[in-house]
Amino acid sequence: MKGKWAAGIPPRNLTWVLPGILAVSERPGGQAATHRKVRRQEEVIWLRENGFDVVISVLNSPQNLAAYAELSMESAHHPVPKVGDVTPALVSLYGDVAERQALGQQMLIHADELGDWMIGIVAGYLLWVGRLPDMPRATTIAEQLFGRQLGSEGRAVVATVAELVDRS
Protein backbone atom coordinates (compact mmCIF):
# COMPACT_ATOMS: atom_id res chain seq x y z
CA MET A 1 0.00 0.00 0.00
CA LYS A 2 1.29 3.43 -0.92
CA GLY A 3 0.18 7.00 -0.62
CA LYS A 4 -2.44 8.39 1.70
CA TRP A 5 -4.11 4.98 2.19
CA ALA A 6 -0.95 3.47 3.69
CA ALA A 7 -1.91 5.02 7.03
CA GLY A 8 -5.45 3.62 6.87
CA ILE A 9 -8.62 5.36 8.01
CA PRO A 10 -9.98 5.81 11.55
CA PRO A 11 -12.87 3.58 12.61
CA ARG A 12 -16.29 5.21 12.50
CA ASN A 13 -17.46 6.97 15.62
CA LEU A 14 -14.05 6.65 17.27
CA THR A 15 -14.34 8.34 20.66
CA TRP A 16 -11.58 8.70 23.22
CA VAL A 17 -12.75 7.79 26.70
CA LEU A 18 -9.32 8.15 28.32
CA PRO A 19 -7.14 10.02 25.79
CA GLY A 20 -4.12 8.01 24.71
CA ILE A 21 -5.34 4.97 26.66
CA LEU A 22 -8.89 3.91 25.86
CA ALA A 23 -11.07 4.56 22.85
CA VAL A 24 -14.30 3.00 21.60
CA SER A 25 -15.84 2.74 18.14
CA GLU A 26 -18.14 0.68 16.02
CA ARG A 27 -16.70 -2.59 14.74
CA PRO A 28 -13.84 -1.99 12.27
CA GLY A 29 -15.31 -2.57 8.84
CA GLY A 30 -18.79 -1.56 9.93
CA GLN A 31 -21.87 -3.17 11.35
CA ALA A 32 -22.91 -6.65 10.27
CA ALA A 33 -25.24 -5.58 7.45
CA THR A 34 -22.82 -2.99 6.06
CA HIS A 35 -19.50 -4.68 6.89
CA ARG A 36 -16.77 -4.26 4.27
CA LYS A 37 -13.51 -6.22 4.31
CA VAL A 38 -11.50 -3.43 2.63
CA ARG A 39 -12.78 -0.84 5.09
CA ARG A 40 -11.95 -3.21 7.97
CA GLN A 41 -8.38 -3.57 6.68
CA GLU A 42 -7.96 0.19 6.35
CA GLU A 43 -9.32 0.79 9.84
CA VAL A 44 -7.14 -1.89 11.45
CA ILE A 45 -4.10 -0.46 9.67
CA TRP A 46 -5.01 2.97 11.06
CA LEU A 47 -5.26 1.53 14.58
CA ARG A 48 -1.90 -0.21 14.24
CA GLU A 49 -0.23 2.89 12.75
CA ASN A 50 -1.65 5.12 15.49
CA GLY A 51 -0.19 3.18 18.40
CA PHE A 52 -3.07 0.97 19.46
CA ASP A 53 -1.75 -2.13 21.21
CA VAL A 54 -4.95 -4.16 21.26
CA VAL A 55 -8.48 -4.27 19.89
CA ILE A 56 -11.05 -5.66 22.33
CA SER A 57 -14.33 -7.01 21.00
CA VAL A 58 -17.41 -7.29 23.21
CA LEU A 59 -19.45 -8.99 20.48
CA ASN A 60 -20.95 -12.38 21.26
CA SER A 61 -19.36 -13.89 18.15
CA PRO A 62 -15.65 -13.86 17.29
CA GLN A 63 -16.17 -11.66 14.21
CA ASN A 64 -13.02 -9.88 13.00
CA LEU A 65 -10.60 -11.69 15.35
CA ALA A 66 -8.90 -13.63 12.52
CA ALA A 67 -8.67 -10.43 10.48
CA TYR A 68 -6.90 -8.66 13.34
CA ALA A 69 -4.36 -11.48 13.56
CA GLU A 70 -3.79 -11.37 9.78
CA LEU A 71 -2.89 -7.69 10.09
CA SER A 72 -0.61 -8.26 13.13
CA MET A 73 -2.99 -6.53 15.53
CA GLU A 74 -3.39 -8.05 18.97
CA SER A 75 -6.98 -8.68 19.95
CA ALA A 76 -9.01 -9.89 22.90
CA HIS A 77 -12.56 -11.19 22.98
CA HIS A 78 -14.84 -10.51 25.93
CA PRO A 79 -18.40 -11.29 24.83
CA VAL A 80 -20.89 -9.25 26.82
CA PRO A 81 -24.44 -10.54 26.37
CA LYS A 82 -27.26 -8.05 25.84
CA VAL A 83 -29.69 -10.22 27.81
CA GLY A 84 -29.34 -12.20 31.02
CA ASP A 85 -26.68 -11.79 33.68
CA VAL A 86 -23.89 -9.59 32.31
CA THR A 87 -21.95 -9.54 35.58
CA PRO A 88 -19.35 -12.27 34.82
CA ALA A 89 -18.70 -10.82 31.36
CA LEU A 90 -18.28 -7.27 32.68
CA VAL A 91 -15.96 -8.41 35.49
CA SER A 92 -13.79 -10.25 32.94
CA LEU A 93 -13.75 -7.31 30.50
CA TYR A 94 -13.09 -4.66 33.12
CA GLY A 95 -10.35 -6.73 34.75
CA ASP A 96 -8.56 -7.14 31.41
CA VAL A 97 -8.92 -3.46 30.48
CA ALA A 98 -7.70 -2.30 33.91
CA GLU A 99 -4.70 -4.63 33.70
CA ARG A 100 -3.82 -3.40 30.21
CA GLN A 101 -4.27 0.20 31.34
CA ALA A 102 -1.81 -0.42 34.20
CA LEU A 103 0.67 -1.75 31.62
CA GLY A 104 0.28 1.45 29.58
CA GLN A 105 -1.39 -0.21 26.61
CA GLN A 106 -3.51 1.82 24.22
CA MET A 107 -6.83 0.02 23.58
CA LEU A 108 -9.87 0.18 21.37
CA ILE A 109 -13.06 -1.52 22.55
CA HIS A 110 -15.77 -2.13 19.99
CA ALA A 111 -19.23 -3.53 19.62
CA ASP A 112 -21.09 -3.80 16.32
CA GLU A 113 -22.16 -0.18 16.73
CA LEU A 114 -21.38 2.61 19.14
CA GLY A 115 -24.83 2.72 20.70
CA ASP A 116 -26.51 2.85 24.07
CA TRP A 117 -25.27 -0.57 25.21
CA MET A 118 -21.61 0.18 24.39
CA ILE A 119 -21.82 3.60 26.03
CA GLY A 120 -23.22 1.90 29.14
CA ILE A 121 -20.27 -0.51 29.16
CA VAL A 122 -17.88 2.47 29.00
CA ALA A 123 -19.66 4.38 31.78
CA GLY A 124 -19.64 1.19 33.85
CA TYR A 125 -15.90 0.82 33.38
CA LEU A 126 -15.24 4.36 34.62
CA LEU A 127 -17.36 3.59 37.68
CA TRP A 128 -15.71 0.16 38.17
CA VAL A 129 -12.16 1.54 38.28
CA GLY A 130 -13.13 4.41 40.57
CA ARG A 131 -12.68 7.25 38.08
CA LEU A 132 -16.27 8.27 38.79
CA PRO A 133 -17.93 8.11 42.21
CA ASP A 134 -21.45 6.89 41.47
CA MET A 135 -24.06 5.93 38.86
CA PRO A 136 -25.49 9.44 38.35
CA ARG A 137 -22.04 10.92 37.70
CA ALA A 138 -21.04 8.02 35.40
CA THR A 139 -24.24 8.49 33.42
CA THR A 140 -23.77 12.26 33.16
CA ILE A 141 -20.13 11.99 32.06
CA ALA A 142 -21.01 9.35 29.45
CA GLU A 143 -23.79 11.55 28.10
CA GLN A 144 -21.40 14.50 27.84
CA LEU A 145 -18.64 12.43 26.27
CA PHE A 146 -20.87 10.93 23.59
CA GLY A 147 -23.18 13.91 23.14
CA ARG A 148 -26.42 12.02 23.69
CA GLN A 149 -28.73 10.91 26.45
CA LEU A 150 -28.10 7.42 27.79
CA GLY A 151 -31.15 5.23 27.28
CA SER A 152 -32.52 2.33 29.28
CA GLU A 153 -30.18 -0.31 27.81
CA GLY A 154 -27.08 1.68 28.77
CA ARG A 155 -28.45 2.71 32.15
CA ALA A 156 -29.13 -0.95 32.96
CA VAL A 157 -25.45 -1.78 32.40
CA VAL A 158 -24.34 1.12 34.61
CA ALA A 159 -26.83 0.09 37.31
CA THR A 160 -25.43 -3.47 37.28
CA VAL A 161 -21.90 -2.12 37.75
CA ALA A 162 -23.04 0.28 40.49
CA GLU A 163 -24.47 -2.70 42.41
CA LEU A 164 -21.19 -4.58 42.03
CA VAL A 165 -19.16 -1.61 43.23
CA ASP A 166 -21.47 -1.08 46.21
CA ARG A 167 -21.11 -4.76 47.24
CA SER A 168 -17.33 -4.68 47.24
- Domain limits at 105? 9-113
pLDDT digits (tens, 9 = 90+) for 7-60: 889 999 999 999 999 999 999 988 776 678 888 999 999 999 999 999 999 999
pLDDT above 90 for 6: no
Structurally, the chain folds into a number of domains equal to 2
Question: 93 with 148, same domain?
Answer: no
Question: 21 with 100, same domain?
Answer: yes
**What was the pLDDT predicted at 164?**
92
**What was the pLDDT predicted at 5?**
57
Question: 77 with 152, same domain?
Answer: no
Residue 36 within a domain: yes
Q: Cβ(59)–Cβ(27) under 8 Å?
A: yes
What whole-number distance in Å separates Cα of residue 142 and Cα of residue 123?
6
**What was the pLDDT predicted at 1?**
47
**Amino acid (one-letter) located at 21:** I
What is the gyration radius of the CA atoms in the chain, in angstroms? 16
Residue 158 within a domain: yes
pTM of the model: 0.93
Question: 52 with 14, same domain?
Answer: yes
**Which helix (H) or strand (E) is 60 found in, with range?**
none
Domain's final residue, options 75, 90, 113 = 113
Q: What is the mean pLDDT of residues 110-115?
A: 94
pLDDT above 90 for 76: yes
Question: 121 with 91, same domain?
Answer: no
Residue 3 within a domain: no
**Amino acid (one-letter) located at 152:** S
Question: 166 with 141, same domain?
Answer: yes
